[in-house]
């Protein structure tokens, strides 16, 4: 393999925040990073103070923290002083509603400034945000708000109908952004409440172990699970944003991820703003022209996006980017799934910069294995462990395997942003530590002779489609809710643009016959009841779904069917 490897070589003397990876990896201590935060001397912990208030009380007070545009109706900018004032107002709105430290509050909003203000306002009073992706449908929303026992949810009139309030006894109130009519007794207007709220609200002072945020992530079995992160995660967000993303005080940073996903908070809110860096948010749907226009309009210097987005830009061709000035870019990173070499080379061709891969998970809270701006890397590899962490490849017994041997990708527990718990599910939390002494990622990988780690895929069945993780169980549950569907099994099928697409195998109920119109109807049903990105793009009708005698779907058999390969050992399959 080594003879076929292509390197991304860096010019000597390249100016980067992380000057010398090898030295940093040997000498780094998280305790040294803690000194960058006020709470080390004051003992008063709250991420909003570190990400907003301390900048608003400094020479950065008039610096733009957030540039927002939808390139149509809204074109706005908010300084750190603006954020301090607006997040204080929203914190006071929540206080009037009876929200207190530790309460969970959902945010179900489009990617607009109000979403960022809401999340930080929730954090300001020590409550815990539960961000929900705008494309979620009723069942996905119910699962998350029900499990978190969210007391309130911030949403819009357009999204409100997807929230099944009658099925959520803990949900006492909706805060509506842009209300357009009369409100019910359990609703309040964001605009009206904000207009009468005070600009001042001292943060609720917390401990390092108090809750910061809950992000829900899908597993291969069961419902989505809530990864609770603690306040101390800000230390990891800060340092990885500084060294992996190479963010600097004069940067204009664009993280394209929605805060409904962990990337959109760890590196769309906490990382850049604890560093005092300006961020760009683009509202609306994906469109190549709009993306390039955003880079040009704001002179974006650092761009963090997903391989799916890069591949979609690539599929749109080279003519479009030639119409825009992309010369402001100085660094690009990638997140969400493996970055294929073709996309990397294409991005480098149009920008002069190769995207640097970053590997991490919702549960890890921060980047753990990366390619770094000052370090040569091998095209196609995942990278090297972040200083202060230890990631490697082990066998089933937790023993490190030799270079080139496939095994479990694991991390030594203890990094700052590691999840504190799985909300209301301690047994699920313990499953992550099933390999003694390690956090088991569920991914497979190998390490080469130079210490670079190469991701090889999921060890379980979670599907990564368009940069988002989708649990087969969630999709299968949505499928069998259709009146024509008796059983369903779901797999990820390789796709050149999306990484994987969702393919469903469906056994029909009696009285229903396979047809193309029925396929379309079933796919639309999943789209409307779960999420658009979770809808199967291919459906095969089968007589029976292969299962073990204990009832578990044998997805490896489905994959073998799809690829026309031998199914292997079927001794555990039910008759």
pLDDT of residue 471: 75
| Cα atoms in the Cβ-side hemisphere of radius 13 Å centred on 448 | 17
Under CATH, what is the fold of the domain 463-563?
Answer: GMP Synthetase; Chain A, domain 3 (3.30.300)
Residues 502 and 465 sit within 8 Å (Cβ to Cβ): yes
| 480-515 pLDDT tens trace | 889 999 889 999 999 989 889 999 999 998 899 999
Ranges of each domain in the chain: 30-218, 463-563
| 29-78 pLDDT tens trace | 999 999 999 999 999 999 999 999 999 999 999 999 999 999 899 999 99
CATH topology identical between 30-218 and 463-563: no
**When comparing pLDDT for 316 and 30, which is higher?**
30
Percent over 70 (pLDDT), the chain = 96
Residues 393 and 408 sit within 8 Å (Cβ to Cβ): yes
**Cβ-based neighbours of 538, under 8 Å, separated by 6 or more:** 493, 501, 502, 503, 504
Is the pLDDT confidence value at 307 over 90? Answer: no
* CA distances from residue 365 to 215, 271, 418 in whole angstroms, order as listed: 9, 11, 6
pLDDT of residue 570: 55
Give the Cα separation of 310 and 350 in Å (integer). 11
Helices 113-124 + 80-96 axis angle, to 10? 60
pLDDT of residue 550: 46
Q: What is the DSSP letter of 166?
A: G
Give the Cα separation of 436 and 396 in Å (integer). 10
| 324-353 pLDDT tens trace | 999 999 999 999 878 888 889 999 999 999
Handedness of CA 419, 235, 262, 74 (dihedral sign): positive
Of 165, 161, 162, which Cα lies nearest the Cα of 151?
165
**When comparing pLDDT for 281 and 3, which is higher?**
281
Does domain 30-218 fall under CATH 2.120.10.30? My reply is no
Residues 302 and 251 sit within 8 Å (Cβ to Cβ): yes
Average pLDDT, the chain: 93
Percent over 90 (pLDDT), the chain = 79
pLDDT of residue 563: 84
**Cβ-based neighbours of 331, under 8 Å, separated by 6 or more:** 245, 246, 301, 302, 303, 353, 356, 373
Place of tokens 């026309």: 564
| 202-212 pLDDT tens trace | 999 999 999 99
pLDDT of residue 568: 66
Give the tokens for residue 37.
């935060």
**When comparing pLDDT for 544 and 272, which is higher?**
272
């Amino acid at each position: 393999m080594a003879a076929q490897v292509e390197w991304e070589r860096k010019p000597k003397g390249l100016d980067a925040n992380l000057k010398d990876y090898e030295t940093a990896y040997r000498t780094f201590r998280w305790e040294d990073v803690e000194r960058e935060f006020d709470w080390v001397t004051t003992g008063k912990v709250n991420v909003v103070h570190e990400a907003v208030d301390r900048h608003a009380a400094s020479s950065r007070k008039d610096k733009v923290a957030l540039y927002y545009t939808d390139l149509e109706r809204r074109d706005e900018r908010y300084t750190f002083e603006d954020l301090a004032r607006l997040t204080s107002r929203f914190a006071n709105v929540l206080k009037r509603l009876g929200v207190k430290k530790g309460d969970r509050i959902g945010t179900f909003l489009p990617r607009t400034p109000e979403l960022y203000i809401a999340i930080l306002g929730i954090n300001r009073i020590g409550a815990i945000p539960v961000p929900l992706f705008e494309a979620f449908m009723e069942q996905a929303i119910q699962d998350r708000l029900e499990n978190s026992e969210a007391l309130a949810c911030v949403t819009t009139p357009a999204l409100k109908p997807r929230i099944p309030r009658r099925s959520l006894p803990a949900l006492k109130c909706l805060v509506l952004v842009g209300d357009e009519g009369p409100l019910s007794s359990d609703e309040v207007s964001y605009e009206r409440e904000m207009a009468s709220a005070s600009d001042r609200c001292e943060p609720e002072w917390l401990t390092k172990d108090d809750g910061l945020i809950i992000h829900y992530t899908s597993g291969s079995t069961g419902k989505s699970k809530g990864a609770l992160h603690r306040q101390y995660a800000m230390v990891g967000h800060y340092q990885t944003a500084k060294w992996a993303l190479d963010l600097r005080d004069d940067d204009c940073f664009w993280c394209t991820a929605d805060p409904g996903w962990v990337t959109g908070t760890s590196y769309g809110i906490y990382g850049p703003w604890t560093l005092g860096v300006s961020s760009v948010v683009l509202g609306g749907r994906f469109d190549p022209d709009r993306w390039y226009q955003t880079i040009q309009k704001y002179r974006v210097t650092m761009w963090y996006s997903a391989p799916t987005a890069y591949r979609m830009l690539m599929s749109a061709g080279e003519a479009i980017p030639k119409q825009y000035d992309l010369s402001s870019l100085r660094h690009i990173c990638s997140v969400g799934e493996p970055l294929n070499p073709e996309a990397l080379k294409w991005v480098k061709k149009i920008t002069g910069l190769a995207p640097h891969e970053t590997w991490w998970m919702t549960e890890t809270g921060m980047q753990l294995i990366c390619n770094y701006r000052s370090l040569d890397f091998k095209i196609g590899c995942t990278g090297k462990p972040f200083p202060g962490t230890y990631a490697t490849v082990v066998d089933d017994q937790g023993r490190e395997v030799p270079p080139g041997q496939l095994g479990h990708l694991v991390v030594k527990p203890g990094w700052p942003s590691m999840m504190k718990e799985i909300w209301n599910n301690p047994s699920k939390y313990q499953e992550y530590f099933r390999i003694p002494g390690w956090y088991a990622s569920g991914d497979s990988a190998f390490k080469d002779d130079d210490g670079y780690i190469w991701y090889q895929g999921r060890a379980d069945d979670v599907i990564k489609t368009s940069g988002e993780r989708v649990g087969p169980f969630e999709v299968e549950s949505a499928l069998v809710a259709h009146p024509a569907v008796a059983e369903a099994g779901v797999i990820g099928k390789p796709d050149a643009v999306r990484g994987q697409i969702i393919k469903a195998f469906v056994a029909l109920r009696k009285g229903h016959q396979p047809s193309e119109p029925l396929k379309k109807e079933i796919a639309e049903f999943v789209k409307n009841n779960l999420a658009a990105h979770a809808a199967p793009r291919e459906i095969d009708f089968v007589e029976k779904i292969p299962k073990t005698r204990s009832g578990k779907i044998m997805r490896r058999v489905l994959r073998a069917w799809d690829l026309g390969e031998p199914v292997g050992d079927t001794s555990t399959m039910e008759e």
